[in-house]
Amino acid sequence: MNSNAFNKFRSVFAHVLLVILSFMCLFFFYILFINATRSHADLQKGFSALPGKYFLTNFMNVANDGTFPMIRGILNSLIVSGCSAAICTYFSSLTAYGLYAYDFKLKKAAFTFIMAILVMPTQVTAMGFLRLITKMGMYDSLLPLIIPAIASPSVFYFMYSYLQSSLPLSLVEAARIDGSGEFMTFNRIVIPIMKPAIAVQAIFTFVGSWNNYFVPALVIQSKDKMTVPILIATLRGADFMSFDSAKIYMMIFVAIVPIIIVYLFLSKYIIAGITLGGVKE
């Protein structure tokens, strides 16, 4: 087999493989949409590849359910996920910049300490966290779902690694010589360089916070403060003979729409990050 034939075969094989992988990824979203358009009775009959006629009916059933505050739940999830993504990416970037751009005696110890927190499961500190927020008067509020996002060791490590590959210290020194303050340097020079990394971690943090079930279930009691995963769980936890599976599929479908919108909005920065070269020495 000559080189031209081999290259053609490799190209065809790569395209076929990508088509298969894309189908496998999108197939489940398609099935979710199909199930969201069918009634509960139709869903009990089994699988169908064709959409039904109950999309608007299912949506109105969920939206108008007095015991199920869908709009309020989506708003709560948007507030928690949006604020968590914003403060997590900003303060993690700021921490990474501080450890990267400054030399001090406890630099290695601070880095090791942050990495040690990374391996600690959330469940280990759950009871202590619950007692702390109860004493601080933040039980049954959205604040305990937002404030802890400030400290994210995994995001910090990603930002630190990105700074090592994209931000030369000579650029920081030049800004200092020109009279730029440290926060001005960070906000006007470092942040624009880190846009691709911030976009990636913003998506991951947003999705992780949006899908988080453990912590909201631990601290939220009022129905008007519940996030989307908790509300979906309450639907599914209803009596087996009375719950409407069509409403569950519709709620799940509605719940993934904000995630898709956030991804589409930030994907251009991710793509730019593949080709973006930081300023090199």
Instruction: Give the CB-side neighbour count of residue 39, counting CA atoms within 13 A.
Output: 5
Domain locations in the chain as residue ranges: 55-275
Say what the pLDDT of residue 270 is: 66
Say what the pLDDT of residue 233 is: 79
Say what the pLDDT of residue 273 is: 56
Say what the pLDDT of residue 281 is: 42
Instruction: Give the CB-side neighbour count of residue 241, counting CA atoms within 13 A.
Output: 0
Low-confidence ranges of the chain (pLDDT < 50): 277-281
- Which tens digit of pLDDT belongs to each residue from 247-264? 888 888 888 888 888 878
For 55-275, which CATH superfamily applies? MetI-like (1.10.3720.10)
Whether pTM > 0.95 for this model: the answer is no
CA-CA distance, 201 to 68, in Å (whole number)?
31
- Which tens digit of pLDDT belongs to each residue from 203-214? 889 988 998 888
